[in-house]
Structure 1
Amino acid sequence: MRIAVTGSIATDHLMTFPGRFADQLVAEQLHTVSLSFLVDTLDIRRGGVAPNISFGMGVLGLHPAMVGAAGADFEDYRAWLERHNVDTASVHISETRHTARFMCTTDEDHNQIASFYTGAMAEARYIELKPVADRLGGLDLVLIGADDPQAMVRHTQEARARGYAFAADPSQQLARLDGDAIKEIVDGAAFLFSNEYEAALIESKTGWDTAEVLERVGARITTLGSKGVRIQRKGEPDLTVGCAQERRKADPTGVGDGFRAGFVAGLSWGLGLERAAQVGCMLATLVIETIGTQEYELRPAAFLERLAENYGDEAAAEVRAKLG
């Protein structure tokens, strides 16, 4: 299955301040704040929607084509992704901007002060999907993840015009997108991904109710946090798949991306929606057990053993035939 994954490409700079932001703020001077925080730690993590999802597919044995915009500083990141089966040949490299960066400082009360530098991500709007399809001999699915808003609309319009099946995953950009843009991104999608809050936001901003959304998409996949995931299709009973049991909770960042990677991998193997969701939930559990969105390691035998523990021997047997 020839899959293109579009979305943001970013680096996360995560710092910790061994104090409380509130202690440094003077109420009478909030109109003229000038503060500097001496931080204890700095963690630089690979991030971005497109790399997170592509990495997950890669460790499951797929070779997704990642589509997005990065800066000239992308080469180390490119090498990491290619080492994990990700095709990065369609990444646009900006001549003037750095790769997008998320910079966040967290205090001892877990309050955060953060900035996001868009950088090269703004140039994703200039990327065409046809050259990607020509290079791969066609596209069976385009996953359109959170990215530059104009890029998301453009990719959707091109996929629709050229007959590429696409999955809509607007997630973090829903707050920025207006109702018309959301309609453009969602209408005609083979799959619509969101969490519960985002699902409500889609309906609020578009004016569509659940039935109207299901008229416009092949399947609506809504993650439910600790309750798992719900799959809805027009005229079909809802499917609910529970979470796989985690052994520890280290970091929830990127869990949704891990689910999407596993779900799409399951579809590419020809599994049904329920089984694909089980693969997605199992991969998401590996993500939550690890600090960093791409720091987990997938060992096939251990993955299959845990899949059997959570979803039964039949599930593990089906996936074993595909995972190897």
Structure 2
Amino acid sequence: MRVAVTGSIATDHLMTFPARITDQLLADRLDRVSLSFLVDSLEIREGGVAANIAYGLALLGHRPLLVGAVGADFEAYGARLAALGVDTAAVRVSATRHTARFLCTTDPDGNQIASFYPGAMTEASAIDLAEVLRAGVDTVLVGADDPAAMLRHTRACRAAGVRFLADPSQQLARLDGAAIRELVEGADHLFTNEYEHGLLLEKSGWSRAEVLGRVGTWVTTLGEKGSRVERAGEPVLEVPAAPAAAVADPTGVGDAYRAGYLSGLAAGLDPVRCARTGSVLASRALAAVGTQSYAVTPDALPALLASAYAG
């Protein structure tokens, strides 16, 4: 199965705040917030949801096709991904804009405050996914990206009859109900986290049953509680999280989960085993600082799965 992963490609600026972010918020002053955080550390890492997912797939022996827009400053980043096995031929390089920037502050409880500057990502809607699909792509994950690009990519998949997976994630807050409904309708899989699950229902105007009637499988990540897999007319599957050796940085954990899940899907595994593979990769990402710092190999994966889900 050849997988194309569309979405953001970014440089991450990851900072740690030693106290609790929530303690800095005054309940009676939330109408006027002015906060500055003196952070303990700054890590500059390569990221973006599409690149993060492609990275995880490449670690597991796949050759994913990365689809997104970047600036000229992407050259070294792209070379690193290509060396790992990511196909970057469909990445558009902007002549005028820098690669997107993600700035995130995390506290010891895993709470985060983040900002995202799209930069070259605003040109992603100029990518012709229909042409990319003619290269023999079987499955497309439509990840968080410029909203116009997300809609164009979804339409291209429908027109070509190619299986697509909807992963609107961070863009749910920006998208209106009509756009969300168009992105979700007919998706083979829909990915959300627990908060996004509720937000999608609220903004789409659909009930849970109506969403399940429009997608093949709805996967919701639940943090330390694992993940939930739902299908119309079938019992809900609750899959526990894989234990993490350490908790270093939650950024990109959801992307690692998606990479593991997609790897299982490519191998023809059932939803529980796909979710377990996703959880194992998520636990590896959680123990590393940065979204593309964890390591795993196809040969090591069976033992990691057996250890996490023994019995």
TM-score normalised per structure 1? 0.86
Q: 1:270-320 CA distances to partner (integer Å, 9 max, x unpaired)?
A: 11111111111111110001111100111445432221122248xxxxxxx
Structure of larger gyration radius: 1
In the other structure, the counterpart of 1:167 is: 165
In the other structure, the counterpart of 2:270 is: 272
**C-alpha displacement at 1:217, in angstroms?**
0.2
> Which structure's residues are more often helix, by fraction?
1
Q: What are structure 1's unaligned runs of at least 5 residues?
A: 24-30, 314-324
In the other structure, the counterpart of 2:191 is: 193
In the other structure, the counterpart of 1:99 is: 99
Q: 1:55-96 CA distances to partner (integer Å, 9 max, x unpaired)?
A: 000000000000000000001110111111110000000011
Secondary structure of the structure 2 residue equivalent to 1:174: helix
Q: Which has the higher contact order (CA 8 A, sep 6+)?
A: 2
**C-alpha displacement at 1:140, in angstroms?**
1.1
**C-alpha displacement at 1:188, in angstroms?**
0.4
Q: What amino acid is the match of 1:173?
A: Q
Secondary structure of the structure 2 residue equivalent to 1:244: coil
Alignment pair present for 1:142 and 2:143: no
Going from structure 1 to structure 2, the CA distance change for 1:115 and 1:196 (only over 3 Å counts) comes to closer
d(CA) in 1 for partners of 2:258, 2:110:
28
d(CA) in 2 for partners of 1:256, 1:18:
23
In the other structure, the counterpart of 1:45 is: 45
Going from structure 1 to structure 2, the CA distance change for 1:115 and 1:131 (only over 3 Å counts) comes to same
**Following superposition of structure 1 onto structure 2, how do residues 143-292 of structure 1 map, counting pairs within 5 Å?**
143-292=141-290
d(CA) in 1 for partners of 2:17, 2:127:
39
Q: Is 2:110–2:250's contact at 8 Å kept on the other side of the alignment?
A: no
d(CA) in 1 for partners of 2:57, 2:158:
24
Going from structure 1 to structure 2, the CA distance change for 1:208 and 1:40 (only over 3 Å counts) comes to closer
**C-alpha displacement at 1:109, in angstroms?**
11
In the other structure, the counterpart of 2:87 is: 87
Going from structure 1 to structure 2, the CA distance change for 1:268 and 1:109 (only over 3 Å counts) comes to closer
Q: What amino acid is the match of 1:133?
A: L
d(CA) in 2 for partners of 1:17, 1:225:
21
Q: 1:106-125 CA distances to partner (integer Å, 9 max, x unpaired)?
A: 79999977543211000001
Q: What amino acid is the match of 2:203?
A: K
In the other structure, the counterpart of 1:74 is: 74
d(CA) in 2 for partners of 1:205, 1:258:
26
d(CA) in 1 for partners of 2:189, 2:231:
10
Q: What amino acid is the match of 1:246?
A: A
In the other structure, the counterpart of 2:27 is: none
d(CA) in 2 for partners of 1:287, 1:229:
16
Q: 1:232-252 CA distances to partner (integer Å, 9 max, x unpaired)?
A: 111111111111111111111
Q: What amino acid is the match of 1:73?
A: D
More displaced stretch, 172-181 vs 11-20: 11-20
Going from structure 1 to structure 2, the CA distance change for 1:239 and 1:77 (only over 3 Å counts) comes to same
More displaced stretch, 191-200 vs 104-113: 104-113
More displaced stretch, 37-46 vs 176-185: 37-46
Going from structure 1 to structure 2, the CA distance change for 1:71 and 1:133 (only over 3 Å counts) comes to same
Going from structure 1 to structure 2, the CA distance change for 1:69 and 1:281 (only over 3 Å counts) comes to same
d(CA) in 2 for partners of 1:289, 1:40:
19
In the other structure, the counterpart of 1:4 is: 4
d(CA) in 1 for partners of 2:7, 2:259:
13
**C-alpha displacement at 1:37, in angstroms?**
8.7
d(CA) in 1 for partners of 2:39, 2:242:
36
**C-alpha displacement at 1:151, in angstroms?**
0.7
CA RMSD across the alignment: 2.7
More displaced stretch, 39-48 vs 118-127: 39-48
d(CA) in 2 for partners of 1:255, 1:108:
16
d(CA) in 2 for partners of 1:86, 1:293:
16
In the other structure, the counterpart of 1:133 is: 133
Alignment pair present for 1:308 and 2:306: yes
Secondary structure of the structure 2 residue equivalent to 1:216: coil
Q: 1:195-214 CA distances to partner (integer Å, 9 max, x unpaired)?
A: 11111111111111111001
Identity of aligned residues (%): 59
